[in-house]
Amino acid sequence: MSFFDVVFYLFAVITTLAATGVIVARNPVHAALFLVLAFCSAAGIWMLLEAEFLAITLVLVYVGAVMVLFLFVVMMLDINLLKLREGFWRWFPFGAGLAGLMVFEMIWVLGSRQTSEVSVAVTHAADYSNTKELGRLLYTQYVYPFELAAVILLVAMVAAIALTLRRRTGVKTQNISEQVKARKADRLRIVKMKSETKV
Amino acid sequence: MNLMANLIPVAAEIFLLVMVCFILIVDLLLAKSSKIYTYLLVQLTLLGCSLITVGTHENGVYYAFHGMYVDDLMSDVLKMLSYLGISMMLVYSRQYLMLRGLFTGEFLVLALFSLLGMNVMISANHFLTLYLGLELLSLSLYAMVALQRDSAIATEAAMKYFVLGALASGLLLYGMSMLYGATGSLELGVISHALQQGVQNKPLLAFGLVFILSGLAFKLGVVPFHMWVPDVYHGAPTAMTMLIGSVPKLAAFAFTARILVEGLQSLVTDWSGMLIVLAIASMALGNLSAIAQTNLKRMFAYSTITHMGFMLLGFISGGIEGYGSAMFYTVVYMIMSLGAFGMIMMLSRAGFEADTLNDFKGLNQRSPWLAFMMMLLMLSMAGIPPTVGFYAKFSVLNAIVQTGHTWLAVVAVMFSLIGAFYYLRIIKLMYFDAPESHVPIVVESDTGLLITLNGAGVLILGLMPGTLMSICAVSVQQSLLLH
C-alpha cells in the first residue's frame, strides 16, 4: 500500500463518516459543520487526482461562501426539530426500499463494467497548471455555454430583485440626499418685525 | 474556424441578448405609466430577430462553436414561430397584466429571456447547450409564475413548478452523465456515431436512456410525470399560463427531436416502446380528468397533457411523416392554446378571472363574434374538420397507421372521441345556456384583431394545411434525417 493509497483511504473514510454525520446529527448546526468537513476531505481527494483548481474552488465557494450562508440561515431560523422527526418510521420502509433499489442499480451498472475500462488518472509534470488549461478551454471551445451560464446568472439576478424588492409606501425613512441638499433658505424663514413700542 | 463563421448563425440570439440588456436599462429610466414604450421596444426586438433569422438563413446544416450550436432549416422555422408566439402572447396579455399591476419591465424582460432559452434549445447540438437553454427557459418561467407576489395560489404554483422542475433537471443531467460515460461525448452527432459503432456498457446506456426520457417527460408534462401541470396552469396568472402552455412546446419538440432522433436514433426500438406507454397513459388520464374539471385553466392543463401524448405518437411512428406530423401538431397546438388562453384573458376584467365554465355560459348573447372564435378554437382542439386540429390529428394518425401500429391509432381515436366531450361542452354552454353575468365585454382593438386572425388562422390552415405541412416535412427531412 503506497502513500497515495493511505492518503486516499484516509480522506475517503473521513468523507463517508462526515456524510453520515450530516444525516444522523440531531442538531442542524452540527449537520452543517459535518457537511463542511465532508467538503474539505472531498477537496483533498480531488487534490490527489491533480485537480487543484476544482479542489480550491470547492473549499472557497462551498465551504467559504455557501456553507457560511447555510449556517447563518440555520442559526437564524427557529426550527422545531421534533416536528421534523415526526413520521420517520412511517416513511422508513418507503425510503429504505428506494435506497435499496439505488444500491442494486449502482451495483448492477458498476459491476457490469469491464475492468479494462477503469482508467488510471493521468499524471502531469509539476509545472502543469490545470487552472490555465481550464481557462483556455472555457474561453475557446466552451465559450458559448460559458456565456449562456452568465446569462442564466443575469436571469437569476433579475428574478431575485423582481421577486423581493418591495417599495412600500408610507414608511418613515430618511432621504439622505434630500437632507444633504437642504439649504438654510428652505427651512428657515427670517421674519423682520418692527420692534414693539411701549404704549 | 474563423470568428464570423461562428457568429453569423448565432446573430439572432446575440441581437436578442443585447436588446434584452438594453431594454433592462431603458426600463429603469421609464416612469411606471409609460411601460408601453418598453412593450413596443420588445415587439420591435422580436421583429428584428425575425428579420435577422430570415436574413442569415442558408440552405444546409451549419455547426458553430465546436459543434455546440447547429443552424438548420428546422431551427430557423421553429425560431420564427417562437417569435410569432411570444409576440402574440404579449399582445393578448397586455391589457390583462395592466389591470393587475403586473405589466412591468421585469415581466417583459423575463419573457424575452425565456425566448432566448427556447432559441438556444432549438438550435443546440450538444447536451451542455441543451441543458443550459432549458435552465434559462425554466428559470425565467419560474420567476414569471411567482411575479404576482400577493397571490398565495400563484406562489404555491411557482414553488411546485420550481421544485419539480429542479427534480426533472436533475434526472435529465443524471441521464446525460450516464450517456457521457457510455459513449464518451456530449455532442449529439458524436454520441450517435458512437452508438452505431456499438457500446460495451449496455446497462449504463439503458439507465441513461431511462433517466433522459423521464426528464423529457417531466418537461413535456406527460403521464406519469404530469403532476405539476394542472396546479401550475391553474395557479399562475393567466398570461403566464399562456406563455408556459404555448411557445415552450416548440422548444420541447426540438429538444425531444434533437436528443431522441439526432442523438439516440440507434436506440429507437428502446425509446419508442417507452414512448408508447407514455403516450397512451397521457391520452387516457388527460382526457378522463379533463371531463371532471370546472376550471377552464385546469381543463386546458389536462388537455395539454393529452395533446403532448398525441404528439409523441408522431415520434413513435418515425420517418419524415412521423416527425413532420409531430412538428406540425406542436405548431398547431401552440396556435390553438394561444387563442384559448387569450379568450380567457379577454373575458376577464379588473379583479375578475373568467376561468370557470360558468363564465362562458351564454357568451353568444354577450358577444357573438368572440363566441364564434372560441367555437372555432374548441372545434380545432377537439379535432373536428374543417379546422386545423383535425388535420394535425389526421396526419399523426396517418403516420402511425403506415408504420403498422394500427391498434395505437384506434386507441388514440377512442380517447380523442372521449376528449371531444369537454370541448363540445364549452360550445354548448356558449350557445345554448343563459348568461350568468351581463357585464359588457370590453375588447381592445389589437386583441380583438388578433383573436380574429387567430380564429381565422385555425380555419384557413385547416382548409389549406399543405404549405405548413410541407414546411414541417422538409425541415424535418433536412435537419433530422439527412445526416
The overall average pLDDT reported for chain B is 92
Question: Does B113 sit within 8 Å of A151, measured CB to CB?
Answer: yes
Which value does ipTM take for this structure? 0.92
Q: How far apart, in whole angstroms, are the C-alpha atoms of residue B11 and residue B47?
A: 14
Residue A193 carries which DSSP code?
-
Domain limits of chain B? 3-481
Mean pLDDT across B404-427: 93
Grid cell in block for residue B336: 390553438
Of B305, B310, B281, the C-alpha closest to B293 is B305
Residues of chain A short of pLDDT 70, as ranges, are 80-82, 84, 112-121, 199
Q: Which residues of A touch chain B, with CB atoms under 8 Å apart?
A: 105, 108-109, 112-114, 117, 141-145, 148-149, 151-152, 154-156, 158-159, 161-163
- According to the model, what pLDDT value does residue B128 have? 94
- The residue of chain A nearest to residue B6, with distances taken between CA atoms, is A144
Question: Does A144 sit within 8 Å of B204, measured CB to CB?
Answer: no
- According to the model, what pLDDT value does residue B483 have? 52
Question: Does A112 sit within 8 Å of B143, measured CB to CB?
Answer: no
Burial class (CB in 10 A: 0-12, 13-18, 19+), A117: exposed
Q: Is the pLDDT of residue B94 over 60?
A: yes
Mean pLDDT across B83-99: 94
SS (H, E, C) A5-29: HHHHHHHHHHHHHHHHHHHHCCCHH
Grid cell in block for residue A154: 443575469
Give contacts of A159 with chain B, Cβ < 8 Å.
Answer: 106, 110, 139-140, 142-143
- According to the model, what pLDDT value does residue A120 have? 64
- According to the model, what pLDDT value does residue B24 have? 93
In sequence order, the β-bridge partners of residue B84 are none
- According to the model, what pLDDT value does residue A35 have? 93
Q: Is the pLDDT of residue B200 over 80?
A: no
Question: Does B69 sit within 8 Å of A112, measured CB to CB?
Answer: no
Give contacts of A117 with chain B, Cβ < 8 Å.
Answer: 200-201
Test mutation, B15, B17, B119, chain A, max A CBs within 10 A? B17
Q: Residue B414, Cβ neighbours under 10 Å: how many?
A: 13
Give contacts of A162 with chain B, Cβ < 8 Å.
Answer: 104, 106, 110, 143, 147
- How close does chain B come to A92, measured CA to CA in Å? 21
At B440, is the pLDDT very low, low, confident or very high (cuts 50, 70, 90)?
A: confident
Q: Is the pLDDT of residue B3 over 80?
A: no
- The residue of chain A nearest to residue B69, with distances taken between CA atoms, is A144
Mean pLDDT across B355-372: 91
The separation between the first and the last C-alpha atoms of chain A, rounded to the nearest angstrom, is 115
Choose the closest CB to B69 out of A108, A144, A149. Answer: A144
Q: Which residues of B touch chain A, with CB atoms under 8 Å apart?
A: 10, 17, 21, 24, 64-66, 68-69, 104, 106, 109-110, 113, 116, 120, 126, 128-129, 132-133, 135-136, 139-140, 142-143, 146-147, 149, 178, 200-204, 207
- According to the model, what pLDDT value does residue A115 have? 47
Question: Does B133 sit within 8 Å of A148, measured CB to CB?
Answer: yes
Choose the closest CB to B132 out of A117, A152, A156. Answer: A152
Question: Does A141 sit within 8 Å of B139, measured CB to CB?
Answer: no
Residue B479 carries which DSSP code?
I
Q: How far apart, in whole angstroms, are the C-alpha atoms of residue B276 and residue B284?
A: 12
Answer whether B281's CB lies under 8 Å from B221's CB: no
Calculate what percentage of chain B has a pLDDT beyond 90. Answer: 75
Report chain A's C-alpha Rg in angstroms.
Answer: 30
Q: Is the pLDDT of residue B303 over 50?
A: yes
- According to the model, what pLDDT value does residue B419 have? 92
Mean pLDDT across B274-293: 94
- According to the model, what pLDDT value does residue A116 have? 47
Answer whether B201's CB lies under 8 Å from B247's CB: no
- Helix A143-164 × helix B127-146 angle, to 10°: 10
